[in-house]
Amino acid sequence: MARHRGAVLVDTNVILECWRIKAWRALAGGYGVETMEDCVIETQTGYQRRRQEQQIDQAALIGSLKAVHKVGNKERAAAIVRELAASTREPLFTSLDPGEQALWAHALTRPDAWVLCGPDKASLRFGVRLGCGERLLALEKLLADAGHRPAATFRSNYTTAWHTKTLGELAAQEGPKRS
């Protein structure tokens, strides 16, 4: 697959991991990275409990992003309705954290060629359920495509191998119900 040239939507976990492995500049410099206001707020939660190298400067973060979006109840409701129309299974949207809810509510309104990077299984399941599995990318893949190899090791759920395996499992689970 060729390197993605459109918007890269990231969740809080991706921001935190990039900061941890010192890869944020590579990601934000290599792509048009966008996130949600809720995700920016989440990066500051627990700030005082993090080691110095894991503290994220909010102004620097916002300045490095292509966009920070805010969603309202209308977009969140549309995401819920879309999920209910796509599946008869137990709804997932309300089980996502606020940043993930905002990210998906925003993503589903976009007409452009976006991709989403986030390691949370519930978020990945939601994307697969709504037919967006091909838009979900691992952080390791994005950084590799941008030509960056972090010195630190990724946590497993940011790797391409984990991502591919997990998406396969989720696709099998989210497939048509058998009677």
CATH fold for domain 7-174? Rossmann fold (3.40.50)
Of 131, 133, 74, 69, the C-alpha closest to 99 is 69
pLDDT, residue 49, reads: 59
Q: How far apart are CA 66 and CA 101, in angstroms?
A: 20
Tell me if residue 136 falls in helix, strand or coil: strand
Q: How far, in Å, are 49, 73, 104, 153, 168 from residue 138 at the CA level?
A: 27, 29, 16, 14, 13
Query: Structural domain boundaries of the chain?
Result: 7-174
Q: In what order do the strands lie in the sheet with 32-36?
A: 67-69, 32-36, 7-10, 115-117
pLDDT, residue 179, reads: 42
Which residues does 75 contact at the CB level (< 8 Å), separation at least 6?
105, 106, 108, 109
Half-sphere exposure of 54 (CA within 13 A, CB side): 14
pLDDT, tens digit only, all 179 positions of the chain = 578 889 999 999 999 999 999 999 999 999 999 999 999 999 988 655 566 666 788 999 999 999 999 999 999 999 999 999 998 899 999 999 999 999 999 999 999 999 999 999 999 999 999 999 999 999 999 999 999 999 999 999 999 999 999 999 999 998 765 44
